[in-house]
Amino acid sequence: MGKSFQAEDRSIDSEIVAELIGLMPDTWKSAILHVRSLRFSEGSEQHSITITNPEKQQGVVMPSDRLCFIIRQLSSAFLTQGKSWREVIYTISLASDGEWKYTVDYKH
């Protein structure tokens, strides 16, 4: 039996967060990944991806090809279930215990 949609979604979320952490400068202790999904009438889709630091620390982070691929997987997983999202925002931060914590906010 395959994974449930929620389990697959969480797995993809974890992959996105791990990739984002790998892209961040060492000086960043938090980041916000904002993805907008643009759907066109012919059925195609494009994603606008922005990565920022809420503490306004220096550094530019560009999305990697892997991050873009994982985001496409996320979108595809939703579409397979007949669902979609307009925006998704990942907020990650390094907790005092040294572990990365994250939240995900979907806007449908």
Query: Three-state secondary structure along the chain?
Result: CCCCHHHHHHHHHHHHHHHHHHHCCCCCCEEEEEEEEEECCCCCEEEEEEEECCCCCCCCCCCCHHHHHHHHHHHHHHHHCCCCCCEEEEEEEECCCCCEEEEEEEEC
Please write the tens of the pLDDT for every residue from 8-43: 568 999 999 999 999 999 999 999 999 999 887 777
Q: Where are the domains of the chain?
A: 5-107
pLDDT (tens digit, 9 = 90+) per residue, 49-100? 999 999 988 888 999 999 999 999 999 998 888 888 899 999 999 999 999 9
Predicted model pTM: 0.87
CA-wise closest residue to 12 among 85, 95, 97? 85
Q: Please check whether the domain covering 5-107 is classified as CATH 3.30.500.20.
A: yes
What's the CA gap between 80 and 92, in Å, rounded? Answer: 27
